Amino acid sequence: MFTGIIQAIGVLQQCSESQLVITATDAPFLGDVAVGDSIAVDGVCLTVETFDARGFTVSVSPETLQRTTLAAKAAVGAMVNLEPALRLGDRVGGHFVTGHVDGVGTVLAIAPTGISWTFTFSAPEAVAAYIIPKGSIAINGISLTIADCNEKGDEFSIAVIPHTYAETTLQFLRVGDGVNLEADLLGKYTRKFLQPQNAAAAVDKEIDLGFLQAHGYA
């Protein structure tokens, strides 16, 4: 589990068909990393296999390479956002992020607005259902707030403050680039619960004193 608060920027390279190496000499968490730890690389949860003071290596499955932007970024040695897994008791500054990418979106526009920036993205159908104004979304692992969206949710915009722009790879994005998208976890569970078959099942259960006692409420 992650929070979408990026702690370092690394450089992603591919050293074999299934192994990636991430160079991150300025990552503060490398001094406390261990083999088997989870690190979100551009929003993708990966497991550390080897590490040193300069970075770490991970293995990736063909599915991960197909469903994310990692293969394309590794091919050109691109910058990636890094976040170690959340520890029990850590401050949750963003929102709950699992590191399981739901789909790849595209940068549609980047517009300066005073000292900030407005980014506009497209979203595939698998993500669009969870896009709402003022909702949360992880873009390349960054916890961000949706400023606005169209009715379908397949186009949305975010406002980026100078700190977030400078401390993440948002500064390197260009129109047409692909981005890893993860919808809000709470939104996924809520939508599933509200699907007709689940809602009907809930209505069918009579909630009375006996039901409450059986479930620990009395």
Q: Mapping DSSP to helix (H, G, I), strand (E, B) and coil, where does residue 103 land?
A: strand
Domains and CATH numbers, the chain: 8-84 (2.40.30.20), 103-194 (2.40.30.20)
pLDDT number for residue 140: 98
Between residues 125 and 94, the one the model is more confident about: 125
| pLDDT 10s digits, 6-49 | 999 999 998 888 999 999 988 989 989 999 999 999 999 999 99
Give, to the nearest 10 degrees, the angle between helix 196-204 and helix 185-194: 60
Give one DSSP letter per residue of 164-195, joined into a string. HHHHSGGGG--TT-EEEEEE-HHHHHHHHHHS
Confidence of residue 199 (pLDDT cuts 50, 70, 90): low
Q: Which of 99, 121, 81 is nearest to 37 (CA)?
A: 99
Least confident of 29-33, 152-156, 159-163: 29-33
Our measurement of the distance from residue 60's CA atom to the centroid of its chain's CA atoms, rounded to an integer in Å, reads 17
Tokens of 59: 């293995």
pTM: 0.87
CB 138 within 8 A of CB 157: no
State yes or no: pLDDT of 71 exceeds 90. Answer: yes
